[in-house]
A and B are shown apart, each in its own frame.
Chain A
């Protein structure tokens, strides 16, 4: 099913991100005026903003010295002949789930996707939604199109959660988002099968996609987004500057999985923010396997009483990859729960940074907040930093955090070898076991299996 490595590379942009490029974007956009107005004001800010300051806590561990803003601009259409990668998660869902049977043999049950959206270099290549869902008022597809059709429910949310004025990347994204996708699930509509979004890049391509997910009261959905392609380390690579906004309505339940699986030459900057309303539930899993450098902000705000967010992170880094995550769990309302578990394994000379913050407002009594980051070092030259943080203004709360960093234990490897496993198999098993705790929390079995397989393939002999 998977497309072979993308055959062509993008030509250098004819025009860098700026006023001239925006002019061309607006000329081609079918979106309503209010959407274009947001672009214009963001573009005005863009010219005055520089790259984030390394004195900023969130950026001080991100090395942007080799990132050249002027080298990037909107990518031309890849043309109709271009092939988009299916995506690891889509493949996993479609190939199905291994289900236990009474006789212990197990068999595979094929899965299906309720909707699919694919883009390449910021151009929409595919959009599909089950007709039965469309009939129930579900909206899923290209933002340029659906924002016009359903401004009544979407205008209030579009770019309402992420701040586009903080730095050059934020403004760029707000001005030049392309191949963006919107999911709106009306109140009490429950979607059983996952919706899938894949953003692809050719070598040297640019992706600025925005994702907006809005679940009405009592609605349910599963959304899988992933990235694929881009150039390998040492090539032109690619550039992703994206954003995600999530609104989980009262009593709604969203399972969200975002897998960053670019090739290792891609610059990846993403800000992702969710709000969860009263008694809403969010299970949000971030997987990060690729990119040259990643800077991800993942924020959850619990804004209604009884809201619940579980945040899972699965990271595997190798080579000279550098991945930075800034997470925030903001308790604005009382009696909410947030539980973050990030697990990373690091190979070669890679670097992983997690900086987490639990913020509890004065009004958020009876908060139950937890954050934890465990890292497993597979080489002596890898480096991980875990920086948990708490900011608590309420007095009746339970907030805890933890962080560990360890190595594969030679005694574990010997024990497994003594039972006939090779040293490599033993190491892979120990690493798989390390991630099991977070996999156990991901309730979508094919996603869990796909992540485990992808990580298993990357592990080499432990040094």
Chain B
């Protein structure tokens, strides 16, 4: 099975180092949870994996390693090439594209991801086939078919944005999905629905990294491993019980156990405070 392998990853935004050596390995079919206090670098990891131009990888590697040992250097790829290589990021705050219908956007997207060698201007996936598939997927996810006629994230509520991200995940069926706080801003019922939907979409072919503050999203997606990020590093990994513990008791035990990371966290907070900003433009930290 293919694996997404991250080694010694250092990432800076506007000259400030946010990730300070992250190691993480996810196989297809595995669910991993990534938890940690605000500002610890969880979203930064997601953006760096997807290739956001504002997130500069200063050292380390991200590779896709096939079962036969063939390695693909993710860092050498443009963001769209990463998507076509099977990497997906569900955005914490997805961007609106006014005037572009979700269905049309997805048709472009699905066409490119399924035909990685497609040149711009070549035929899109046949309309009939695409619509049939979209309709079926929306039914599976209990979504109103009219939703796909709306403009991408334009005027969507927080919940609608997250649903749209899950729909795209379902249509694209990536090898590796990073879900960046797909539960934030949702009420308990909506989180349960999201959790069930993700469980339906995932499976033996998909590796999933769930970034979350809570454990509800993990209800139907029991993680093989739970990772705790603090001060830009993964300081501890464990089973599903670790997620439960962090949800109940918070991060104080972690801060005490890893004083260096806690110090890094304070330094980053101070730097962010001095710079007059909490997060880089357009991104969660």
Q: A103-B128, A106-B127 are in contact. Are A417 and B78 (CB under 8 A)?
A: yes
Residues on B with C-beta less than 8 A from A426 are 80
Residues on B with C-beta less than 8 A from A432 are 99-100
Q: How far is the CA of A436 from the CA of B149 in the complex (A)?
A: 13
**CB 8 Å contact bits of B88-107 with A (1 = contact, 0 = none):** 11010011111110000110
* Smallest CB separation, A376 vs chain B (Å): 11
Residues on B with C-beta less than 8 A from A437 are 98-99
Contact segment of B31-39, B108-116, B186-194, B227-235: B108-116
Q: Is the pair B83, A418 in contact by a Cβ cutoff of 8 Å?
A: yes
Checking A106, A425, A434 against B98 with a beta-carbon cut-off of 8 angstroms, the contacting residue is A434
Q: Is the pair A420, B84 in contact by a Cβ cutoff of 8 Å?
A: yes
For chain B, the bracket of interface size reads 35 or more
Q: A419-B168, A420-B83 are in contact. Are A104 and B128 (CB under 8 A)?
A: yes
Residues on B with C-beta less than 8 A from A424 are 120
Contact segment of A62-70, A209-217, A405-413: A405-413
Q: Is the pair A104, B132 in contact by a Cβ cutoff of 8 Å?
A: yes
Residues on B with C-beta less than 8 A from A433 are 97-100, 151-152
Q: Is the pair A421, B127 in contact by a Cβ cutoff of 8 Å?
A: no
* Smallest CB separation, A415 vs chain B (Å): 4
The verdict on A416 contacting chain B, using a C-beta distance below 8 Å, is yes
The verdict on B9 contacting chain A, using a C-beta distance below 8 Å, is no
Residues on B with C-beta less than 8 A from A423 are 78, 80
The verdict on A148 contacting chain B, using a C-beta distance below 8 Å, is no
Q: A412-B95, A434-B98 are in contact. Are A419 and B109 (CB under 8 A)?
A: yes
In B118-141, which residues have CB < 8 Å from any A CB? Answer: 120, 127-128, 131-132, 135
The verdict on A422 contacting chain B, using a C-beta distance below 8 Å, is yes
Residues on B with C-beta less than 8 A from A422 are 78, 80, 112, 120
The verdict on B52 contacting chain A, using a C-beta distance below 8 Å, is yes
Q: Is the pair A417, B95 in contact by a Cβ cutoff of 8 Å?
A: no
Checking A103, A105, A435 against B99 with a beta-carbon cut-off of 8 angstroms, the contacting residue is A435
Q: How far is the CA of A436 from the CA of B154 in the complex (A)?
A: 13
The verdict on A430 contacting chain B, using a C-beta distance below 8 Å, is yes
* Smallest CB separation, A24 vs chain B (Å): 49
Q: How far is the CA of A354 from the CA of B88 in the complex (A)?
A: 42
The verdict on A429 contacting chain B, using a C-beta distance below 8 Å, is yes
Q: How far is the CA of A418 from the CA of B86 in the complex (A)?
A: 10
Residues on B with C-beta less than 8 A from A418 are 50-51, 79-80, 82-83, 88-89, 91
The verdict on A414 contacting chain B, using a C-beta distance below 8 Å, is yes
Q: How far is the CA of A104 from the CA of B82 in the complex (A)?
A: 31
Residues on A with C-beta less than 8 A from B15 are none
Checking A420, A430, A434, A436 against B113 with a beta-carbon cut-off of 8 angstroms, the contacting residue is A420
Q: Is the pair B80, A420 in contact by a Cβ cutoff of 8 Å?
A: yes
The verdict on B64 contacting chain A, using a C-beta distance below 8 Å, is no
Q: How far is the CA of A433 from the CA of B113 in the complex (A)?
A: 22
**CB 8 Å contact bits of A105-122 with B (1 = contact, 0 = none):** 110000000000000000
Q: How far is the CA of A418 from the CA of B89 in the complex (A)?
A: 7
Q: Is the interface of A mostly helix, strand, loop or mixed?
A: helix
Residues on B with C-beta less than 8 A from A415 are 91, 94-95, 97
Checking A103, A414, A434 against B52 with a beta-carbon cut-off of 8 angstroms, the contacting residue is A414
* Nearest A residue (CB) for B131: A104
Checking B95, B109, B128 against A420 with a beta-carbon cut-off of 8 angstroms, the contacting residue is B109
Q: How far is the CA of A434 from the CA of B79 in the complex (A)?
A: 23
Q: How far is the CA of A411 from the CA of B128 in the complex (A)?
A: 31
Q: Is the pair A425, B97 in contact by a Cβ cutoff of 8 Å?
A: no
* Nearest B residue (CB) for A415: B95
Q: A423-B78, A424-B120 are in contact. Are A105 and B97 (CB under 8 A)?
A: no
Checking A104, A106, A416 against B97 with a beta-carbon cut-off of 8 angstroms, the contacting residue is A416
Q: Is the pair A429, B108 in contact by a Cβ cutoff of 8 Å?
A: yes
Residues on A with C-beta less than 8 A from B99 are 432-437
Residues on A with C-beta less than 8 A from B52 are 414
Residues on B with C-beta less than 8 A from A104 are 127-128, 131-132, 135
Checking A103, A409, A417, A429 against B100 with a beta-carbon cut-off of 8 angstroms, the contacting residue is A429
Q: A410-B53, A421-B109 are in contact. Are A436 and B131 (CB under 8 A)?
A: no
Residues on B with C-beta less than 8 A from A420 are 80, 83-84, 108-110, 112-113, 172
Q: How far is the CA of A105 from the CA of B131 in the complex (A)?
A: 8
* Smallest CB separation, B265 vs chain A (Å): 26
* Nearest B residue (CB) for A101: B128
Q: How far is the CA of A414 from the CA of B83 in the complex (A)?
A: 11
**CB 8 Å contact bits of A11-30 with B (1 = contact, 0 = none):** 00000000000000000000
* Smallest CB separation, B280 vs chain A (Å): 11
The verdict on B276 contacting chain A, using a C-beta distance below 8 Å, is no
* Residue of B80, B94, B152 with most chain A CB atoms under a 10 A cut-off: B80
The verdict on B282 contacting chain A, using a C-beta distance below 8 Å, is yes
Q: A411-B95, A430-B97 are in contact. Are A417 and B282 (CB under 8 A)?
A: no
Q: How far is the CA of A78 from the CA of B177 in the complex (A)?
A: 64
Residues on B with C-beta less than 8 A from A105 are 127-128, 131
Q: How far is the CA of A103 from the CA of B53 in the complex (A)?
A: 42
Residues on B with C-beta less than 8 A from A425 are 108, 112, 120
**CB 8 Å contact bits of B147-170 with A (1 = contact, 0 = none):** 000011000000000000000100
Q: Is the pair B79, A417 in contact by a Cβ cutoff of 8 Å?
A: yes
Q: How far is the CA of A314 from the CA of B74 in the complex (A)?
A: 41
Q: How far is the CA of A383 from the CA of B98 in the complex (A)?
A: 23
Residues on B with C-beta less than 8 A from A106 are 127-128
Residues on A with C-beta less than 8 A from B112 are 420-422, 425
Residues on A with C-beta less than 8 A from B96 are 412
5 contacts between A and B (CB under 8 A): A419-B106, A419-B113, A421-B109, A422-B78, A434-B99
Q: A residues touching B (Cβ–Cβ < 8 Å)?
A: 103-106, 409-412, 414-426, 429-430, 432-437
7 closest A-B pairs by beta carbon, nearest first, are A433-B99, A436-B99, A420-B112, A417-B79, A420-B83, A433-B100, A415-B95
